[in-house]
Chains A and B, each alone.
Chain A
Amino acid sequence: MVEGGAEHLVTRLLAGGPEGDAAARELHDLLVRAALAHLVHQGYSLEAFGADDPEALAEDFAQEALATILRQLHTFRGQSRFTTWAYRIVINLISDEFRRRAWRRRPLPTEHEALPHPVDPADDPVAAAERDEVWGLIARVIREELTPRQRQVLVGRFFQDKPLVVLAEELNTSKDAVYKLLHDARKRLKRALLAHGFTEAEALAAFERR
């Protein structure tokens, strides 16, 4: 499964010494190219990162990714190409930094806790009544049954478009912990819908009819 060259790179990295140092330099160069390729394919502007030198920006991300990869090298099991395994780290670093900065650049903060009312008075009355019922239930569960942290991440995620990394920083926790809060909130909402006789498909259909 592992390609020849990259497999050799892992062996040399694990061996350490001068050969390991040379392998780390080769991996660093690969990571710089991966960072540049990711910037190209996502169409990210340098300004989005507060940078004006693309090579220096890619070097910085590659250096950070290399440190993470070397720390995690012992966990590589050869179930994928080594390059695929390594590139995910640099993509993750760049993507989260882009999201962090994009969130900070938003023109108006939307920190209100109020939930929207998604029913348009111009809607068909029957469809509007169904939407009202589904939304009324969801809004009540969000307000009354979720914990404050579950409510904060759910509202932030779905109604304020906050990235996980931003929510994690706000709550001084990890992205995995935020994901767990969201998961628990979704489970609670799902149970509430079912308890009130709505399947998920029926609840969704109410918002697809006009």
Chain B
Amino acid sequence: MKETSHRVKQLLEAIALTQDDEIDCSTCLDLVPIYVDRELAGADPARELPALRQHLAVCRECLEEYEALRELARLEAAGGLPGRQELLRQLRQQRPSA
């Protein structure tokens, strides 16, 4: 019952966030690199790109991908992604069977 109420709440939250005009996932994918880089530069992209912020609030897949992109962009800005061998080592380390 709690699970069902939680799902209904998620639906009601999405309804509350609904705007007459919203951008779709492709547009989000086009804009999200700008959003991420503006954010890492210390700007306020939510104010600069409110339609994207709204999309991220109602689309959990795009939100996940935005957060993942922010992580990679943060690494890139801090000097670049780790090397291939280092990443493979990290991946093996976190595998339960490794």
Contact = CB atoms under 8 A, between A and B. Distances in A.
Q: Do A and B form a real pair?
A: yes
Interface residues of A, number: 62
Q: Which of A34, A40, A117, A134 has the most CB of B within 10 A?
A: A40
Chain B contact residues: over half helix, strand or loop, or mixed? helix
Interface string B76-91: 1100011110011011
Q: Which of A80, A154, A193 has the most CB of B within 10 A?
A: A80
Interface residues of B, number: 52
B37 to A, nearest CB: 4
Contact of A95 (B68, B75, B84): B68
B65 interface: yes
Q: Which of B33, B92, B94 has the most CB of A within 10 A?
A: B33
B84 A88 contact: no
Given A40-B91, A158-B10, A164-B61, A88 B83 contact: no
A38 interface: yes
Contact of A179 (B5, B7, B25): B25
B41 to A, nearest CB: 9
A186 B95 contact: no
Interface of A: 1, 29-30, 32-34, 36-43, 45-46, 54-55, 75, 79-81, 83-85, 87-88, 91-92, 95-96, 99, 116-118, 120, 131, 134-135, 138, 154, 158-159, 163-165, 175-176, 179-180, 183, 186-187, 189-190, 193, 200-201, 203-204, 207-208
